[in-house]
């Protein structure tokens, strides 16, 4: 990635994302939303969207603006739209969260808050998809980029369904008032968001990041192509077998154990199993003898992904999925997606900081290493505490102990805050010895805003 142009607004996306992550975790610690409130309560919806849009989606968008050009060796097209997209996403999310607070009875207003959110959020995701899709458009894409292309399609489906939800709650689609969207559209909204947009895209990006950071072979393997095909099949079957698809086709709603839904689960689990084999290949055939902390911490996220698949199968087999869906989604969102996101930020932020500060003098003067910007021995404590907190939190949800969940959530919050501090210290070059910190020609980067042209 050396020599690749830096995306100007990536750090701004990362900063906003981390603010929402810390905010959401703090709300869980004080008992706001699930599990203290029902899954369908406005308080829980506020919490969920702080995590899925505010944290995970902003993180993914910022990362893709930087790494899609790396995936296809092509500069970002229409990169100036990254700022308008960020503004739309932040404004839309602010209206969405305010709308949920209104539904919860926190205040009254005649302003159609959810309707504004239903316009701004899809606009923001459409701008993101336009920039990234326009960059990807062209010749045959390498495998990681094909994952991203599918993920972007799922993001647009998720945003469209979300806009329908907000407009219906605002009373602006009276023609659909008789439709129970909670049972008919919510499953596909969740599946396309968590499994399609966030997980499928994360898997694709990992096929490039892990080999790059561990110096592993990155050639396209047969198993990797099978991961893509089986994952796409699972997503297509989920959409085609969903109640909303059946409703639009005016046919009988499918059962949860219909052949299409069973096939979707089997394809999805098969995709994850093959992905696990590829991960083992990357770690086993790395040329970098010492595995850096970001790659070691990522193993915790991969373990959480595997446990999520096992838990899903167990809940389906015992008929308790609806009862314990909160525990499953928590493990997916915080064990797999957040764990992977934080672990890779621990490498990406120092890497981008190094490029900003020392890239102009690379090869001209001695510079610190990227590893010198962080202290891994200290960071490993925080990642260990984080995954311990997530594991404990999942267990407390499974045994229905919301009081103990708050303690586990506090552990995860403490670890997250410590990791954020580590990222700030790396950004400010605090861990670099003073005599090597700023050689002539180097300059300190701003914390989260781009440098003026």
Can you tell me the mean pLDDT for 65-90? 92
pLDDT band at 333 (very low <50, low <70, confident <90, very high): very high
Look at residues 121, 132, 79, 133 and name the one whose alpha carbon lies nearest to residue 450. 79
Residue appearing with tokens 């806009």: 163
Spatial separation of the C-alpha atoms in residues 286 and 211, rounded to whole Å: 8
Both tokens assigned to 226: 């099978």
State residue 308's pLDDT score: 96
Alpha-carbon span 41 to 37, nearest angstrom: 6
Q: Which two tokens stand for residue 375?
A: 């202290």
For the ranges 169-178, 190-199, 413-422, the lowest mean pLDDT is seen at 169-178
The mean pLDDT value for 132-145 works out to: 90
pLDDT-derived band at 151, boundaries 50, 70, 90: very high
Answer with the residue of higher pLDDT: 258 or 246: 258
pLDDT value of position 254: 42
Domain boundaries, the chain: 1-139
- Looking from the CA of 116 toward its CB, the CA atoms found within 13 Å total 17
> What are 252's two structure tokens?
């009988």
- Residue of 70, 71, 82 lying closest to 3 (CA atoms): 70
- The percentage of residues in the chain with a pLDDT greater than 70, rounded to a whole number, is 92
Stated pTM of the model: 0.93
pLDDT above 90 (res 410): yes
- Please tell me which residue, 201 or 446, carries the higher pLDDT value: 201
Cβ 324 vs Cβ 397: under 8 Å: yes
Residue 46 has pLDDT above 80, yes or no: yes
- 169, with CB counted inside 10 A (0-12, 13-18, 19+), is buried
Which is nearest to 353 in space by CA: 276, 233, 273, 446? Answer: 446
Kindly indicate the confidence band of residue 249, based on its pLDDT and cuts at 50, 70 and 90.
very low
Q: What's the average model confidence in pLDDT over 7-36?
A: 95
| CA-angle at 205, arms to 138 and 48, nearest 5° | 115
Check pLDDT > 70 for residue 5: no
Identify the pLDDT of residue 3.
45
Identify the pLDDT of residue 250. Answer: 40
Q: Does 358 have pLDDT greater than 50? A: yes
Using the 8-state DSSP alphabet, how is residue 47 labeled?
H
Give the position of tokens 């939303």: 33
Q: Which letter does DSSP use for residue 6 in this model?
A: P
Q: Do 83 and 108 touch, CB atoms closer than 8 A?
A: no
Q: What is the mean pLDDT of the chain?
A: 89
Average pLDDT of span 74-86: 92
Structure tokens at 242: 């969903």
pLDDT surpassing 60 at residue 29: yes
Backbone angles phi, psi at 287, to 5 degrees: -95, -20
Q: Could you give the CA distance from residue 299 to residue 158 in angstroms, rounded to a whole number?
A: 28
pLDDT number for residue 44: 95
What pLDDT, on a 0 to 100 scale, did the predictor assign at position 7?
82
Q: Kindly give, in sequence order, each residue whose CB lies less than 8 Å from that of residue 257, ignoring residues fewer than 6 positions away.
A: none
Residue 248: pLDDT band with limits 50, 70, 90: very low
* Predicted local distance difference test score (pLDDT) of residue 444: 82
Give the number of C-alpha atoms closer than 13 A to the C-alpha of residue 191, restricted to the C-beta side.
Answer: 24
Better-predicted residue by pLDDT, 229 or 3:
229
359 CB contacts (<8 Å, ≥6 apart)? 2
Name the pLDDT band for 378 (thresholds 50, 70, 90): very high
Q: What pLDDT does residue 19 have?
A: 97
Give the mean pLDDT of 147-161. Answer: 95
Phi, psi of 449 (to 5 degrees): -100, 150
Q: Which residue has the higher pLDDT, 199 or 173?
A: 199
Backbone angles phi, psi at 270, to 5 degrees: -65, -40
Picking from 301, 276, 309, 293, the residue whose alpha carbon sits closest to that of residue 386 is 301
- Say if residues 93 and 19 touch (Cβ distance below 8 Å): no
Q: What is the pLDDT of residues 161-188, one digit of tens each?
A: 999 888 888 777 665 555 556 666 788 8
| pLDDT tier at 74, thresholds 50, 70, 90 | confident
**Residue whose entry in the numeric block shows the structure tokens 């205040």:** 107
| Distance set, CA 409 to CA 3, 46, 387 (Å) | 40, 17, 11
Helix (H) or strand (E) holding 14: helix 10-29
Whether residue 423 is predicted with pLDDT greater than 90 in this model: the reply is yes
Tokens of 178: 């008789």
Question: Is residue 52 a contact partner of residue 93, using CB atoms and an 8 Å limit?
Answer: no
428 in the Ramachandran plot: left (φ > 0), alpha (ψ -120 to 50) or beta?
alpha
Angle between helices 338-358 and 293-318 (to 10 degrees): 160
DSSP secondary structure letter of residue 253? P
- For residue 440, what is the DSSP state? T
Question: How far lies 170's CA from each of 14, 164, 339, in Å?
Answer: 31, 10, 35
Whether 246 has a pLDDT exceeding 90, the answer reads no
Task: Please check the confidence at residue 224 and state whether its pLDDT lies above 90.
Answer: yes
Rounded distance between C-alpha atoms, residue 332 and residue 39, angstroms: 16
> How far is 342 from 390, CA to CA, in rounded Å?
13
Q: CA 163, CA 166: separation in Å to the nearest integer?
A: 5
Place 253 in a pLDDT band, splitting at 50, 70 and 90. Answer: very low
Return the pLDDT at 165.
87
């Amino acid at each position: 990635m050396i020599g690749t142009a830096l995306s100007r607004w990536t750090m701004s996306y990362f900063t906003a994302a981390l603010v929402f992550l810390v905010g959401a975790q703090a709300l869980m610690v004080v008992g706001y939303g699930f599990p203290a409130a029902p899954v369908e309560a406005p308080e829980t919806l506020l919490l969920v969207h702080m995590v899925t849009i505010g944290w995970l989606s902003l993180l993914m968008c910022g990362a893709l603006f930087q790494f899609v050009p790396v995936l296809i060796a092509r500069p970002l097209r229409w990169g100036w739209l990254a700022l308008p997209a960020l503004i739309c996403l932040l404004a839309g999310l602010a209206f969405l969260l305010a709308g949920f607070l209104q539904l919860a009875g926190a205040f009254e207003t005649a302003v159609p808050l959810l309707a504004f959110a239903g316009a701004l959020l899809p606009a923001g995701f459409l701008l993101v998809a336009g920039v990234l899709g326009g960059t990807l458009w062209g010749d045959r894409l390498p495998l990681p980029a094909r994952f991203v292309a599918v993920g972007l399609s799922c993001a647009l489906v998720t945003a469209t369904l979300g806009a329908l939800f907000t407009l219906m709650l605002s009373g602006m689609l009276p023609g659909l008032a008789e439709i129970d969207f909670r049972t008919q559209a919510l499953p596909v909204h969740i599946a396309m968001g968590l499994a399609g947009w966030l997980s499928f895209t994360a898997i694709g990006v990992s096929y490039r990041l892990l080999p790059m950071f561990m110096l592993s072979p990155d050639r396209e393997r047969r198993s990797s192509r099978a991961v893509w095909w089986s994952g796409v099949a699972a997503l297509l079957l989920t959409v085609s077998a969903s109640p909303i698809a059946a409703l639009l086709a005016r046919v009988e709603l499918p059962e949860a154990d219909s052949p299409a839904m069973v096939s979707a689960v089997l394809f999805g689990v098969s995709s994850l199993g093959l992905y696990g084999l590829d991960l083992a290949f990357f770690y086993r055939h790395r040329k970098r003898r010492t595995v850096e902390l970001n790659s070691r911490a990522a193993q915790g996220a991969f373990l959480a992904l595997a446990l999520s698949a096992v838990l899903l199968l167990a809940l389906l087999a015992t008929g308790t999925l609806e009862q314990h869906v909160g525990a499953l989604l928590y493990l997916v969102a915080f064990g797999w997606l957040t764990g992977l996101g934080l672990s890779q930020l621990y490498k990406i932020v120092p890497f981008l900081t190094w490029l900003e500060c020392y890239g102009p003098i690379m090869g001209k003067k001695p510079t610190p290493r990227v590893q010198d910007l962080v202290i891994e021995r200290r960071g490993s404590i925080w990642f260990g505490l984080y995954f311990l907190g997530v594991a404990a939190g999942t267990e407390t949800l499974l045994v229905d102990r919301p009081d103990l969940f708050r303690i586990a959530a506090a552990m995860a919050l403490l670890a997250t805050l410590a990791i954020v501090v580590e990222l700030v210290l790396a950004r400010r070059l605090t861990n670099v010895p003073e005599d090597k910190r700023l050689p002539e020609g180097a300059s300190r980067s701003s914390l989260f805003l781009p440098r003026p042209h």
